[in-house]
Structure 1
Amino acid sequence: MTILVGIDGSTPSRSALEWATSRARSLGEGVRLVHVIDDEWGIAGRDVAQQAEDAGADVIESARRAAGVPVEELVLHGSPAWTLAGLAGPDDLVVVGTHKTGFLHGRALGSRSIVVASLAAGSVAVIPDAAVPRTRQSIVVGVAAGSWETAVAFGAAEAERTGEELLLVHCVPEDAPAAVLDDGNRLLGEARRYAAEHSTAAHVRSRISRRAPAVALLDASRSARLLVVAPTRGSVDRAGFLGSVTHAILLNITCPVVIAR
């Protein structure tokens, strides 16, 4: 797995770099630093384009010094989100920062992190702007029918790597009949067994929530080290490639989120 970090010198990208290098360090790996110079700078003229080139070199150099792990540096031209997403293979992890924190309750256009998460072939980690407190604990995984195995496997591996508890959350409607609850409990049982196959050390808990999925997962992960979800595509017409639940989570992010593919 290659860890690609999108950097642009902003506070969110520094948070992404810190998260990615911490993970790489614990795995004994390096990272690939990617800075994409927006082609739109060239429209403004040669001098402005040169300033963008110089600024990009500074961003890369600053990130290299801060990384503390082996790095590969890559400077490209193009649309930042689309170019970064296009670099990732199915087994790669792309790490990006986001300034979107807190509960917005609505759609917001133009978030590069959401574009990357929608388009990348591999898994994507979206890291909120604020630094992650060291007191955060647990790895939370959203378990949705039909699309949970990869998310649970990723979460179990992270729980074993970090020594944190693994919490599996499945959501059903508040007025769901008993049969739906029974199905949910069976699904969580399968997910617990699957998690045990991927981590022999992690302590695994599970619970059913009667709240809306995005609200339940955001609430469960408010003090978590990581939230892992699958890129469900149930509402493509309303929320783009990710599905409405994942889209809402990224708009209202409360902790680092991994969309596991």
Structure 2
Amino acid sequence: MTTVFPDATAIKPSVQRSEPMLVAMRDPAADRTAVEWAAARAAALDAPLTVLHAIADPSLMPPGRLYGDEVIAGRVMVSREASRVSHRYPGLRVSTYLHCGDVVEALLGLSTAAPMIVVGADRKDPSSGEFKGSVALQVALNSATPVAVVPPGYGYQTGSGQARGGVVVGVDGSDVSRIALMRAAEEAQSAGMALTVVTALGSSPQRMAVGASPMLLAVRTRYPDLIVSWIVDDLHTPVEALALYGAGSDLLVIGRHGSGARSAMSLGSVTHTLLLEPPCPTLVLTRRELEPAEDSPTRAAERMNVH
């Protein structure tokens, strides 16, 4: 296991966003952690936040229940949650959105305009242990914008878990992981945190041998003040390594699929497993971010190290 620590001091820049982030609130108790995380992030970035709640289609309502009452209850619930976070984060611009229909359809329909979608992790049935629904997985698979999946109780848990903090990203040498690395570096720089890059057993040795040095130099070129640690873990599988180093972290960044994916239209096995039980708020990159220009310092750094 190898770790690299460049000497640097992180600097937190001023970041402003105009597009509203989108957070889904399906249940006021179970999804409060996701709303809290989204509100804290939006406040830190000076970005607006939209709290979305969906109620079932009228055709799916049980006999004897008035749909109007469901609409009113939904509006009251989402309005109360918006008021709560507005009070907790003064200055945060919060709006609400009530959708009549499927929550996944609502989130995907708004995903092209939002810079990020935040959802709570899919919940388990306490008696059977089976997952109740797959909202997080479906949104992560089909969204046009990055999706953050927040585990229940994040930020409120105490115990024997290791407190690391910072941003963690999994890198396997693929193009997708290189994009994830640059996004993770941006997230860490914006939040004034350190970045931990994890390469685990199962990644292609040939690809990593060629790509690791240029990728690290690209990060150092674009973010010279960022503290970066690169860990090569030869003891754990990718899922185990990311779960280990993600525990106690502020954010884990992963691609929708890695180098072993059979199809770009499906979640990779590592991503799928991590989203079922995320070790910390986990950001899934669901669209290919803009590549650096050919004459940019990043491209120049990569060319210098390849040749």
User: Structure 1 length normalisation: TM-score?
Assistant: 0.84
Aligned length, in residue pairs = 251
2:52 is matched with 34
Counting only pairs closer than 5 Å after superposition, residues 71-86 of structure 1 correspond to structure 2 as 71-86=94-109
2:148–2:281: 8 Å Cα contact kept in structure 1? Answer: yes
8 Å Cα contact 1:157/1:198 also seen in 2: no
Where in structure 1 do 4 or more consecutive aligned residues deviate above 4 Å? 106-109, 133-136, 233-237
Q: Tell me: CA distance 1:198–1:66, structure 2 relative to 1, closer, same or farther (3 Å).
A: farther
What does residue 303 of structure 2 align with? none
Structure 1 residue 185: Cα displacement = 4.1
2:149–2:283 Cα contact (<8 Å) kept? yes
* 1:147 has 2:171 as partner: no
1:151-199 deviation per Cα after TM superposition (whole angstroms, max 9, x unaligned): 12221122112222101112233xx8xxx53542442222222323443
Shift of 1:142: 0.9
Bigger drift between 68-77 and 187-196 goes to 187-196
Contact 2:121 2:277 in 1 (8 A): no
Q: Could you report, residue by residue, the CA deviation over 1:70-90 in whole angstroms, capped at 9, with x for unpaired residues? A: 012211111112321221017
Q: Which amino acid aligns with 2:228?
A: V
Q: CA deviation at 1:99?
A: 5.0
Change (3 A) 1:198 1:123: farther
Q: 1:220 to 1:100 in 2, by over 3 A?
A: farther
- Tell me the equivalent position of 1:61: 79
Please list every run of 5 or more consecutive structure 2 residues that lacks an aligned counterpart in the other structure: 1-18, 87-91, 158-162, 288-307
Q: What SS does the corresponding residue of 1:147 show, helix, strand or coil?
A: helix
1:129 aligns with 2:152: yes
Instruction: Verify the 8 A CA contact 1:41 1:49 in the aligned structure 2.
Output: no
Counterpart among 156, 173, 180 of residue 185 in structure 2: 156
- Relative distance call for 1:248 and 1:22 in structure 2 (3 A) is same
Q: Deviations over 1:34-70 (max 9, x none)?
A: 1111216643247342232122112211121122210
Cα distance in structure 1, aligned partners of 2:191 and 2:197: 16
Note closer, same or farther for the CA distance 1:193–1:44 as it changes in structure 2 (3 Å cut): same
Question: What SS class does the counterpart of residue 11 from structure 1 fall into?
Answer: coil
User: Which of 241, 245, 258 does residue 266 from structure 2 map onto?
Assistant: 241
Q: Give the deviation of 1:111 after TM superposition.
A: 2.1
- Give 2:278's aligned residue: 253
Of 17, 32, 43, which residue of structure 2 is paired with 1:25?
A: 43
1:184 aligned partner = 208
Query: Which digits, 9 at most, give the CA deviation of each residue in 1:116-170, with x for residues without a partner?
Result: 1111111000001113259551210011312123312221122112222101112
Q: Please give the root-mean-square deviation of Cα atoms over the aligned residues, in Å.
A: 2.8
Between the two proteins, what is the percent identity of the paired residues?
A: 26
Q: Kindly name which structure, 1 or 2, has the bigger radius of gyration based on alpha carbons.
A: 2
Please tell me whether the aligned partners of residues 11 and 129 of structure 1 are also in contact (alpha carbons under 8 angstroms).
Answer: no
Residue 200 in 1 paired to residue 224 in 2? yes
